[in-house]
Structure 1
Amino acid sequence: MMRRLAPAVGLFFLAPLVAEYLLGNVPASEIAAMPVLAPMYGGGALLVRETARRAGRGWPTMILLAAAYGVLEACLIDQSLFNPSFEGQDFQSAAPVPALGVSAVYALSFVGGHVIWSIGVPIAIVEALVPRRSTTPWLGRPALAVTCAVFALGSFLIFRGISRDEGFMASTPQRIGAAVVVVALIGAAFALGRRPRHATAGWVPGPWPVGAAAFVASGLFYARPESWAGVAVGAGLLAVTAAAVTSWSHRTGWGAAHRLSLAGGALLTYVWGGFLLLSLKGTSDTANLAGQAVLALGALALLLAAGRTVARDPDPEEPR
């Protein structure tokens, strides 16, 4: 049973490690917060992955479900997108959208960050480690029900704790609007790609160029300026990347190595970005820098292990 559940357990803990600790938003000295963060992040990543795979869907569905998760967390759970002084930071003056009470910069950063790093990258890496089970469900119905309960409880505890500490609650129209967006994204996730598409012939770049491009694109997205120009750059990067990957992934030369390269390129951005964020937040003391170095080495080791597995095992059929 433990061997069967190992991928799910791995994803449950990898998601918060990437989303908060490797990012540097939560320093390594606060690793004791993992039991608080894992139910929301890990539970969310597992639900996204299991929901899509149980329905026989692939990455388009998972990306839209991840976007729904990003809106849910940033708007309804921790409400960081609506809070003008979340954790003492000014999250609304950069490219503000007064009608919505949000910053366009942070709307893109928070939701896009969750799609890419909190959900997408951990799922892609763990699936690469178990190629023969990469497109099949990992949880039975009882375990899936437990995961739903753990995610709901963890999200509620974070919501209650942050609401108490911040003394903030988004307006009713903001919460209703966010809930509508979440439902719309979930609906879109299952409205798209109902009919499997057959791969076609065509040129596909190798895994190494794909990984290098992912590293550059994710780095530019991560470090873009906090202005309307930065919003345009970020949106453009997402659009171009999505278009290129969508086109390549429907060709016969695209495989597991390419998917891992995409995830690996993005993961490596957090490897250097985590050190930068620690410095910007003033938490780059010796202990936290040492902890960040351990996390960075762990990320590299995980990528190496996944790469070896993908090279050794056959490429599974991925729903397109």
Structure 2
Amino acid sequence: MRVLALWLLATWCAECVWGGFTLADYPVVVLFLGPLYGGAAVLIREVVRRRGGGWPSMVLLAAVFGLVQAGLVDQSLFDRAALEGTEFAAQGEVAAATLVPGLEFNAGQLFEFVGNHVWLSICAPIAVVEACARPGVRHGPWLSTRTITVTSVLFVAAVLVNWSDSGHVLSPAQVLFVVVTAAALVTAALWWRASPPRQGPLSGPGPLVLGGVVLAAHLGSWFYGTGWLALGLRVVTLAVVVAVVVRWSRSAADVLAVWGAGLVVAAAGAFLSPPYAAAAPWLMLVSDVFGALFVVSLLVLAFCRSGGRGPDARLLSRPAPGASS
């Protein structure tokens, strides 16, 4: 049940929570994109937890998925025409704002595409489902060898289906950039080890404050605009948020608040964002209202199941002494 919940939630968070598809589209989304997003979330979590890794490894592998998905699978990172025929076609017109010469991709889109996959497609669903799980199994393996094999086959099949539909041909330099960067991130993820949870009474501002900081950072970035200055501000904001989270996260509730803030922002943004394909106004409104209510209810349930501020693994931890792959 935990695996199925993660599979379905990751798919919904990746494409629906922010308004990309309406409720009427979700069955098709689950059928065609479930093995891609759900499979990735399930497999990434399983690899990290089986190796005894923590959230740094989870984030790094999620970034690998986001980079490969946007760079090699649907190739939206390099193909300016990828969104033509959708309600987001205008985004391709501003791709030159932070264009990287030679590789011909928009650095701002790289930050956005990979960041959204890290936050919405992988980490937030994992945080929610783990918070709802019993403490005894929360951070342990969930899959059998057979289930890992089946999930991997379905994931690869989904990758091939989505790749074959892209139609864009990458240059050798673009492929090399994605492969080398992904390999470096995988190496870092496998090297990192989670340090033991801190003992003793918990201190810090608590989940509401941490969630509020992350929420404010998300909302503030909406007003940065485009261009290199805006990208620089986003990077600085991210660095500050990471520093705050590393310093003050102490419990499962803190973890949930940090990742859950992104879901709240995405659900709120859905009211301002059209779906990929034009839909009836009433259907968009119903879908957005459902998404907002679902996110709030889900986070409340997860917080109650998480055990509040009971001792748990920190959101981000330093590599343990002597850690190796």
> Kindly tell me: are residues 305 and 152 of structure 1, through their superposed partners in 2, closer, same or farther at Cα, counting changes over 3 Å?
same
- Count of paired positions: 306
Indicate the residue corresponding to 1:155 in structure 2: 159
Q: Is the 8 A contact 1:105 1:226 kept in 2?
A: yes
Distance 1:315 1:204 in 2: 13
Tell me which of 12, 21, 25 is aligned to 1:26.
21
Indicate the residue corresponding to 1:38 in structure 2: 34
**How much has 1:45 moved relative to structure 2?**
0.8
> Kindly tell me: are residues 16 and 84 of structure 1, through their superposed partners in 2, closer, same or farther at Cα, counting changes over 3 Å?
same
> Kindly tell me: are residues 224 and 47 of structure 1, through their superposed partners in 2, closer, same or farther at Cα, counting changes over 3 Å?
farther
Structure 1 residue runs of 4 or more that deviate by more than 3 Å after TM superposition = 200-203, 221-224, 279-284, 311-320
Structure 2 unmatched runs, 5+: 318-325
Indicate the residue corresponding to 1:179 in structure 2: 179
Structure 1 unmatched runs, 5+: 1-5
- Structure 2 residue 130 is matched with structure 1 residue 127: yes
Helix, strand or coil: the match of 1:92? helix
> Kindly tell me: are residues 240 and 277 of structure 1, through their superposed partners in 2, closer, same or farther at Cα, counting changes over 3 Å?
same
Helix, strand or coil: the match of 2:166? helix
Range with bigger deviation, 226-235 or 70-79: 226-235
Indicate the residue corresponding to 1:196 in structure 2: 195
Helix, strand or coil: the match of 1:87? coil
Provide TM-score, normalisation by structure 2: 0.87
RMSD: 2.3
**How much has 1:221 moved relative to structure 2?**
3.5
Helix, strand or coil: the match of 2:128? helix
Distance 2:223 2:199 in 1: 36
Tell me which of 299, 303, 306 is aligned to 1:310.
306
> Kindly tell me: are residues 58 and 175 of structure 1, through their superposed partners in 2, closer, same or farther at Cα, counting changes over 3 Å?
same
Q: Is the 8 A contact 1:95 1:227 kept in 2?
A: yes
Distance 1:94 1:76 in 2: 22
Tell me which of 53, 62, 72 is aligned to 2:58.
62
Q: Is the 8 A contact 1:64 1:188 kept in 2?
A: yes
Map 1:91-110 onto structure 2 (within 5 A). Answer: 92-110=95-113
Distance 1:222 1:43 in 2: 30
- Structure 2 residue 54 is matched with structure 1 residue 50: no
> Kindly tell me: are residues 23 and 243 of structure 1, through their superposed partners in 2, closer, same or farther at Cα, counting changes over 3 Å?
same
Q: Is the 8 A contact 2:108 2:231 kept in 1?
A: yes
**How much has 1:317 moved relative to structure 2?**
4.8
Indicate the residue corresponding to 2:144 in structure 1: 140
Distance 1:71 1:280 in 2: 21
**Structure 1 residues 194-227: Cα deviation after superposition (integer angstroms, max 9, x where no partner):** x735637885211111111121112233553122
**How much has 1:126 moved relative to structure 2?**
0.6
Indicate the residue corresponding to 1:8 in structure 2: 3
- Which residue type is aligned with residue 136 of structure 1? G
Indicate the residue corresponding to 1:293 in structure 2: 289
- Structure 2 residue 265 is matched with structure 1 residue 269: yes
**How much has 1:281 moved relative to structure 2?**
7.6
**How much has 1:29 moved relative to structure 2?**
3.3
**How much has 1:134 moved relative to structure 2?**
1.6
Q: Is the 8 A contact 1:134 1:316 kept in 2?
A: no
Q: Is the 8 A contact 2:253 2:306 kept in 1?
A: yes
- Which residue type is aligned with residue 121 of structure 1? A
Range with bigger deviation, 29-38 or 49-58: 29-38
> Kindly tell me: are residues 84 and 317 of structure 1, through their superposed partners in 2, closer, same or farther at Cα, counting changes over 3 Å?
closer
> Kindly tell me: are residues 159 and 207 of structure 1, through their superposed partners in 2, closer, same or farther at Cα, counting changes over 3 Å?
same
**How much has 1:301 moved relative to structure 2?**
1.1
Distance 2:121 2:29 in 1: 16
Q: Is the 8 A contact 2:197 2:312 kept in 1?
A: no
Provide TM-score, normalisation by structure 1: 0.89
- Which residue type is aligned with residue 289 of structure 1? L
